[in-house]
A and B are shown apart, each in its own frame.
Chain A
Amino acid sequence: MSMSKKSRLLPVMAIGATFSLLLAGCAGGGDEASSDEIKIGVLAPDTGNLSFAMGEAKKAVDQVSKELGLEFGGKTITIVYQGTDGTTSSAQSAVRKLVENDEVDIVLGPGSGDEGLTVVEYALTQPDVTFVNGAASPVDQTLKGADNFFRFMGDSVMWMGGLGKYAYETKGYKNIYLLAEDYSFPYDNAGGFFSEFCAAGGNMTGASWVPVGTTDYATVLSSIPAGTDAVYVGLGGSDAANFLSQAVQAKTPYPLIGGSIAIDPSALGASADIADAAVGMFSGGPVPGAGYTNTLWDKFNSEVEGVNIFTLLYYNAAYALFSGIKAVDGDLGDGQADLRDALKATDFTGPGGHIVLDSNNQAIVDNFITEVVQNADGSLGTVQVAEAHNVKQGTISYQRFDSCP
Chain B
Amino acid sequence: MTSEQLFQIFLNGITLASVYFLVASGLTLIFGLMRVITMAHGTSYLLGGYFGFSVASATGNWYLAALVAAAIVGILGLIIHQVLIHKFQNDDLRVALITLGVAFIGTDLMAATYGGDAYQVPAPSNWLGTVVLPFAGSYSLQRLIIILISIIIGVALWLLISKTRYGAIVRAGVDDSQMTAATGVNTRVIFASIFLLGSALAGFAGVANGTLFTLLPGQDGTFLLYSLVVVIVGGMGSIPGAALGALLVGLVSQFGLYFAPTYATVFTFALMVIVLAVRPQGIMGKVRL
Contact = CB atoms under 8 A, between A and B. Distances in A.
B258 interface: yes
A6 B281 CA distance: 10
Contact of B261 (A1, A9, A53, A220): A220
A216 B12 contact: yes
A209 B53 CA distance: 30
B92 A216 contact: no
Interface stretch (B59-67, B74-82, B115-123): B115-123
Contact of A238 (B8, B9, B93, B214): B214
Given A6-B35, A21-B225, A216-B15, A55 B116 contact: yes
Contact of A218 (B123, B140, B232, B264): B140
Interface string A358-397: 0000000000000000000000000000000000000000
Interface residues of B, number: 63
Interface in B177-228: 177, 212-214, 216-218, 221-222, 224-225, 228
Contact of A271 (B111, B118, B140): B118
Interface in B112-153: 115-120, 122-123, 128-130, 138, 140, 142-143
Nearest to B250: A216
Contact of B37 (A13, A51, A246, A249): A13
A237 B1 CA distance: 30
A132 interface: no
B96 interface: yes
B107 interface: yes
What size tier do the contact residues of chain A reach?
35 or more
A361 to B, nearest CB: 29
Contacts of A50: 116
Interface string B235-247: 0100000000000
Contacts of A24: 104, 107, 218, 221
A223 B191 CA distance: 46
B218 A51 contact: yes
A213 interface: yes
Nearest to B253: A216
Contacts of B42: 20
B217 A46 contact: yes
Contact of A51 (B92, B216, B254): B216
A13 B27 CA distance: 12
A229 to B, nearest CB: 20
Interface in A6-21: 6, 8-10, 12-13, 15-17, 19-21
Given A17-B228, A211-B264, A218 B5 contact: no
Contact of A3 (B12, B115, B212, B288): B288
A238 B39 contact: no
B157 interface: no
Contacts of A250: 130, 138, 140
Interface string B1-13: 1001100110010
Given A6-B35, A210-B257, A250-B140, A52 B116 contact: yes
Interface string B41-82: 010000000000100010000000000000000000000000
A5 interface: yes
B92 A5 contact: yes
Given A24-B221, A46-B111, A269-B117, A2 B261 contact: no
Most buried by A among B104, B119, B123, B261: B261
A242 interface: yes
A170 interface: no
B273 interface: no
Contacts of B283: none
A273 interface: yes
B275 interface: no
Contact of B264 (A46, A214, A241, A400): A214
A52 B116 CA distance: 4
A270 B120 contact: yes
A215 B16 CA distance: 9
B120 A273 contact: yes
Contact of B116 (A46, A219, A272, A400): A46
A54 B35 CA distance: 38
A314 B96 CA distance: 39
B24 to A, nearest CB: 13
Interface of B: 1, 4-5, 8-9, 12, 15-16, 35, 37, 39, 42, 53, 57, 92-93, 96-97, 100, 103-104, 107, 111, 115-120, 122-123, 128-130, 138, 140, 142-143, 176-177, 212-214, 216-218, 221-222, 224-225, 228, 232, 236, 254, 257-258, 261-262, 264-265, 287-289
19 contacts: A1-B35, A1-B176, A1-B177, A12-B37, A13-B228, A49-B216, A49-B218, A51-B111, A51-B217, A54-B116, A209-B261, A210-B261, A218-B8, A220-B258, A238-B214, A241-B120, A267-B118, A273-B123, A400-B262
Closest 3 CB pairs of A and B: A52-B116, A272-B120, A51-B116
